[in-house]
Amino acid sequence: MSESEAFRSGLDVVRAVEPRIADAIAQELDDQRESLKLIASENYASPAVLLAMGNWLSDKYAEGTIGRRFYAGCRNVDTVESIAAEHARALFGAEHAYVQPHSGIDANLVAFWAVLAQRVEVPALEQAGVRQVNDLTEADWATLRRELGDQRMLGMSLDAGGHLTHGFRPNISGKMFDQRSYGTDPETGLLDYAAVREAAREFRPLILVAGYSAYPRRVDFAIMREIADEVGATLMVDMAHFAGLVAGKVFTGNEDPVPHAHIVTSTTHKSLRGPRGGLVLCDSGLVDQVDRGCPMVLGGPLPHVMAAKAVALAEARVPEFRDYAQRVVDNARALADGLLRRGARLVTGGTDNHLVLIDVSGYGLTGRQAESALLDAGIVTNRNAIPRDPNGAWYTTGIRVGTPALTTRGVDATGMDEIAGLLDTVLRATTPTGKARYTLADGVAERVRARSAELLARHPLYPGLDLR
């Protein structure tokens, strides 16, 4: 049976119960096919990944870990989880992989609590001479709870490209930890390691977090580890955005976080091109604590998603994935060069990963106006703060664009240059009329839509997949 038939008959089964859902699923494929997707955190998973999710593995409760479950009858879940973990360990060269987290945020929660358990709870239990928290006296328990809530974290600031989960107040991480940020050099826009070291020496965090969502450059994780070691911090790297570049061996040596960090977290659906989900990699010292992720902070595992993770991780272990990862980076460079040639202003002056951050103040716009005008022309991006953003986190001054998704469709460097032209055309044709309001010159949206439709037609999404 072909992929088309598999999806079509699946949809027919859904349609028989709730046709509106079947229609929305089919419509989503059309929408994805027709939009020029430059969202740096999105991608297109393979049919094998998608199909691995739609089945009865979903019906199984499997709290606990492989071979140590709180429920009976988990042998197939054990198989699925073992294979996913085995692929993750091999792909990333990690000592241990935990593939249960439902998302990147969940993976970070697992990591935070693993470190808190290892460094705060376990020593407290030892000191009190008991085996587990239930054996502590009320007084010792109260003290431990206060200590758990009084730990420090140092992470990259939001406007330099860090993530909300790296200790910011609106997120639970900011409520759990006393947080300080490091940023980028005001001149170069590059990560300022000397400033990180200085902040670490002064603040002495329990956890030093590296990783980003909107920083267009590479990070030297060997230096970050050296800084962590100097102040006795645990180095946690959140590679949610760039896991595909690590898997594809574009980031090696000091740019590969796995050999340097104590613990690494990731999503599986961004550059890694798997199902929506997360994972944690760690060295042997943290295994016991990481494996307690469920039910510590995670709800029951999603066995069907772990199956899809296993498929995606297997896909990332074949040589073609390395070509893909290299093309993602080459394409980002081509996109940046095309924008610079047309006069755009870029944060850090370019990119050496999968994303580009356009400073749209060069076009006299806020990020909000630019994002909306681009969407009018069928180009999907997101607005993003830039370092020391004058417009704040809501309106912003940046547009973040990334190449993982379009590279999956087969768009090449020439296509990226064409896309740079489309972005520049729309941004130049946009006139601000208020912080969020703007007008787009007549005919531009239609012209750009037509040209991007031509480009996308040359690179069909899921070629051969036909739902009709």
Ligand X SMILES: *Cc1c(COP(=O)(O)O)cnc(C)c1O
Catalytic site residue 18? no
DSSP string, 343-391: T--BGGGS-SSSEEEEEGGGGT--HHHHHHHHHHTTEE-EEE--TT-TT
Binding residue for ligand X (CB under 6 A) from 37, 60, 96, 163?
A: 163
CB 100 within 8 A of CB 306: yes
- Dump the DSSP string for 178-223: EEEEE-B-TTT-SB-HHHHHHHHHHH--SEEEEE-SS--S---HHH
Residue of closest CB approach to ligand X: 104
* Residue count (the chain): 468
Contacts of 73 (CB under 8 A, 6+ apart): 60
Site map (CB under 6 A) of ligand X, residues 272-301, x = contact: ------x-----------------------
Could you confirm whether 435 is annotated as catalytic?
no
Dist CA 30 CA 38 (whole Å): 17
Rule CB under 6 A: is residue 400 a binding residue for ligand X? no
Q: Which is nearer to ligand X, 182 or 438 (CB)?
A: 182
Q: Which stretch binds ligand X (CB under 6 A): 98-106, 175-183, 294-302, 401-409?
A: 98-106
User: 103 or 326: whose CB is closer to ligand X?
Assistant: 103
Annotated catalytic residue 454: no
How far apart CA 388 and CA 160 sit, in angstroms, is 8
Contacts to ligand X from residues 173-212, by CB under 6 A: 211
Is 267 catalytic? The answer is yes
Question: Residue 246 is encoded by which pair of tokens?
Answer: 């690590």
Given 238, 256, 291, 337, the residue binding ligand X (CB under 6 A): 238
Question: Of 43, 65, 165, 396, which lies in the binding site for ligand X, with binding defined by CB under 6 A?
Answer: 165
Question: With binding defined as CB under 6 A, does residue 103 bind ligand X?
Answer: yes
Instruction: Please pick, from the candidates 66, 99, 104, 324, the single residue that binds ligand X as defined by CB under 6 A.
Output: 104
Residue 59: which residues within 8 A CB-CB, separation 6 or more? none
Binder to ligand X among 85, 240, 246, 347 (CB under 6 A)? 240
SS3 38: coil
Stretch that binds ligand X, among 14-22, 238-246, 282-290, 444-452 (CB under 6 A): 238-246
Answer yes or no: are the C-beta atoms of 343 and 362 closer than 8 Å: yes
Binding-site ranges for ligand X (CB under 6 A) = 41, 103-105, 163, 165, 211, 213, 238, 240-241, 267, 278
Could you give the residue numbers annotated as active site?
61, 63, 238, 267, 270, 276
